[in-house]
Structure 1
Amino acid sequence: MLTQDELEGLLRVRSTPGQGPQYLALRDQIARGIEMGRLPAGTRLPSERQLQTGSGTARGTIREALFQLEAEGLIYRRDRSGWYVSPPAITYDPTRWAGFMSYVAEQGRTPSTETLTKELVPAISAVADIFRVAPGTPLHLITRRRSIDGRAVLVERITVDPALAPGLLDHSLDGSLTQILTQHYDLKVARNRVDMRPCALVKFAAEALGVKPGTPGLLVVRTSLAEDGRVVEYDHEYWRHDAIRVHIDLNVRS
């Protein structure tokens, strides 16, 4: 582990004529340190004030460099704690109906789940259309925060039809929902429809993840369907953009 003095020395900006914007010079130094392993995952960077004092660089320049690295997923902020080097992203295959707990553990990481709310709510029109029920029909709505190695990486809102899973909310939902639906309700998914798009984390998701609203994120909307076409689960996942790497392995037949 580098000492604070070594960190500050490593991150000191050394400008040369024609190098380009100074914030890119600092960005490149930090990125090189991460790439070469001199700044391992979890390393806390010096504060903006320390970087400013050590390098003589303007505070605004330092912030531009840090924001650029955050947008690239190389570093992240902890609320009221500072900037840290991001851990490796988890590989996510949206074509599988493997639960979060399973595919994170398969990659040698430690998953955990915390149920924030679970309630019965009347279906709004858009959701009612998805489940093919009348607007106002009560549906299970579950909000959970999920972590990898103790770091919160996503907040999800899951809707399930009580007609398919009566009493679901009586279960502990801090583990695998996939396992509960399979073992207790014999619900098996035949098809997944997945939409993904970059997003700015909305207020409830940002607060649950301990970041500022507007922080870059990835929204994954998944509709899981049974063999007969009934919707088993409708899920909105708000991911930290630096926590996930989407990977799909397809066999292409000529």
Structure 2
Amino acid sequence: MILVTGATGHLGNAVVQHLLKTIPASQIAILARQKEKAIAFETLGVTVKLGDFDDTNALQAALSGIEQVVLISGTDPVHRLQQHKNVVDAAVAASVKRIIYTSIAMESLATSHNQFLMESHFKTEAYIEQSGLTYSFFKNNLYTDTIPLFAGDNPFAHGITLPTGSGKVAFAWRNDIAEAIAHHLLQPINSNQVFQITGNVAYNFEEIATMLSTLSGKQVTFTHVDATTYENMLQQVGVPTPLIPVLLGFTADISNHQHQAVATDLEKLLGRKPTEMAAALKTMYHL
């Protein structure tokens, strides 16, 4: 039995959908906070276990009889380390055979401008390593799916304005990552493994603008600005205040080449080339 956390979110849901293509629904369970959000999974025959990362009793009950756990990293930057520890502790108590954790691919936490957000990934990895559980870490680069968050929903009208300079990112398509996790779950459990999950090519936003121009037939410009100008822009367009420092941190890290490294692990796990940037842009921008 495989249990997937975060299954009502994008990545967790995609993992479940890929698993359903190869194994019976009776071998899949999800952890959900609210039953109403998990009705679609029950309809498919997936077992729904109610609970959340903060409820240790519910976690212990949910993981009873589970062989593998996919721990999709939590979204609460303040509390998620302890939440992750709760899942790991429950997995140890349930004698889970393998835990898969979705972490982050980056050059250096020490030089990151998003240390507060990112350090919980590294601390979770360390806690899992110390737990004695067999583990697999999927160190995921930034999702290709997040490009509109940086470039905007309509770069054809406004261009792309960012403080990222020539910094590149080896973006990875979220559905590819989900498929890779599903493939890995069906492999023998025989060792600890760490995967660097990236696309096969790193792009900067000027190159993405050029690609969007080619795909759309409309001129998409890229303009580099300083961080203060970018912060003012975010405030003017009404970006929620808590999200602004996160975007500033990511753009600073991109400018400093934190997410530029390319690895071939994703291609090996998929058994094919990852989704190309042009295809992803067509999908995201309906081209």
* TM-score normalised by structure 2 residue count: 0.26
Bigger relative contact order (CA 8 A; separation at least 6): 2
Structure with max Cα Rg: 1
* TM-score normalised by structure 1 residue count: 0.28
